[in-house]
Amino acid sequence: MATATAQPAKDEALLELQRRMLRQMLLVRRFEEKAAEAYALGKIGGFCHLYIGQEAVAAGSLAALRDDDYVICSYREHGQALVRGVPANAVMAELFGKATGCSRGKGGSMHLFDVSRRFMGGHAIVGGHIPLAAGLGFAIKYRGGDQVCLCYFGEAAVNIGVFHEALNMASVWKLPIIFCCENNRYGMGTAFERVAAVTDVVEHACSYDMAAELVNGMDAMAVYGATERAAERARKTGHPTLLEVRTYRFMGHSMSDPLHGVYRTKEEVEEQKKRDPISQLALKLKEEGALDGPALDALDAEVRAVVEAAVQFADQSPDPDLAELTSHVLVE
């Protein structure tokens, strides 16, 4: 029977998807650990916001996208850039401020761009890129396309007025956007419940007559499923979706901040680490017989080598030429 033969193939495709996501999440984890080291050594300057703990969100959601879809992010976007396929070399070189970086060393950690992958940037004013996502969605609709725009932001951006302006316009104009709120509980050092009257972000969708879903952000497959449903809705009906993806960052807000202390306890962080999305996915694959210890070790070794090479590439790359100071202010 057709179903009898189709089922194992589907299962195998799902397992392959999960192995791919596991690799992406491991790559992000090892990359961010190296970025932390490089920051401590002074090789990365400015602000540097790490994604450790939240890897399942980028891996799960981006797996549901096509190459011609748009992606736009806040300033905590190393993970999304890597999962979207921006080479680790180009991302690390950008953090190092080098000419070979994905933004030619002029953007840095918070402004990673790769237009060839429709990766439309990291943006560093909280909430400021949410209407840009609406504009990308508007352009898709204007041209009659069936692409979607996936927009990531933190829960703290929900308190910004332009979040509400953008969701309203996206809904009233039926723009194909997935608003992906990565709720990691803290806006820098402020717990969301201390500053938000409505703490379930997903509830805001009803103000804008928008579809919404609450998602376990520590489960890459759950994120994948929810994003896939939202993408299908956007492609078929043009309607936007608000996803609230509950996650947790294991690091401080930026490299300048402590992991815990005045705003959250060490015990809380340790408790959350038991939900580590990478360990969970690896365990699941092991239980399903799709991955064994040596295979996981090999995967880890492979991504560590990629990251090590990226650090060497960034180290050896030249600084931008001084003439770059005045280029790209305007299109000449």
Partner 1 sequence: MPTLTYRDALNQALREEMQRDPSVFLMGEEVGVYQGAYKVSRGLLEEFGPMRVVDTPIAELGFAGVGVGAAMAGLRPVIEFMTWNFAVLALDQIVNSAAKILYESGGQVPIPIVFRGPNGAALQLAAQHSQAWESWLAHIPGLKVVAPATPADAKGLLKAAIRDDNPVIVLEGEMLYNTKGDVPEGEHVVPIGKADVKRAGTDVTLICHSKTVVPALKAAEQLQEQGVSAEVVDLRSLRPMDEETLVASVVKTNRCVVAEEGWPHCGIGAQVVDIIQREAFDSLDAPVLRVTQADVPMPYNKQLERAAKPSPEKIVAAARRVCYLD
Q: Give the binding site for partner 1 (CB under 8 A).
A: 70, 72, 101-107, 111, 113-115, 120-121, 123, 125, 128-142, 161-162, 165-166, 168-169, 172-173, 327-331
Structure tokens at 135: 């504009």
**CA 29 – CA 219 distance, rounded (Å):** 15
Structure tokens at 327: 């280029």
**CA 276 – CA 178 distance, rounded (Å):** 25
| Nearest approach, Cβ of residue 150 and partner 1 (Å) | 13
| Nearest approach, Cβ of residue 240 and partner 1 (Å) | 13
Angle 184-150-119 (CA atoms, 0-180°, nearest 5)? 100
Residue 250 and residue 269 in contact, taking contact as beta carbons nearer than 8 Å: yes
Neighbouring C-beta atoms of residue 97, cutoff 10 Å: 22
DSSP class per residue in 174-192: T--EEEEEEE-SEETTEEH
**CA 303 – CA 280 distance, rounded (Å):** 18
Comparison of 166 and 303: residue with beta carbon closer to partner 1: 166
| Nearest approach, Cβ of residue 321 and partner 1 (Å) | 12
Comparison of 168 and 199: residue with beta carbon closer to partner 1: 168
Comparison of 167 and 226: residue with beta carbon closer to partner 1: 167
Distances (CA, A) of 10 to 15, 49, 127, 223, 282: 9, 37, 39, 19, 20
Residue 233 and residue 211 in contact, taking contact as beta carbons nearer than 8 Å: yes
Structure tokens at 71: 């992606």
Comparison of 4 and 330: residue with beta carbon closer to partner 1: 330
| Nearest approach, Cβ of residue 16 and partner 1 (Å) | 32
Pairing of strands 149-154, 190-191: unpaired
Residue 70 and residue 277 in contact, taking contact as beta carbons nearer than 8 Å: no
| Nearest approach, Cβ of residue 238 and partner 1 (Å) | 12
Residue 78 and residue 28 in contact, taking contact as beta carbons nearer than 8 Å: yes
Comparison of 128 and 225: residue with beta carbon closer to partner 1: 128
| Nearest approach, Cβ of residue 25 and partner 1 (Å) | 26
What are the DSSP E strand ranges found in the chain?
70-73, 119-122, 149-154, 177-183, 186-187, 190-191, 211-216, 241-246
Comparison of 108 and 252: residue with beta carbon closer to partner 1: 108
| Nearest approach, Cβ of residue 76 and partner 1 (Å) | 16
Comparison of 287 and 332: residue with beta carbon closer to partner 1: 332
Comparison of 44 and 72: residue with beta carbon closer to partner 1: 72
| Nearest approach, Cβ of residue 53 and partner 1 (Å) | 26
| Nearest approach, Cβ of residue 90 and partner 1 (Å) | 11
- Tell me which residue has tokens 């910004």: 160
Comparison of 62 and 166: residue with beta carbon closer to partner 1: 166
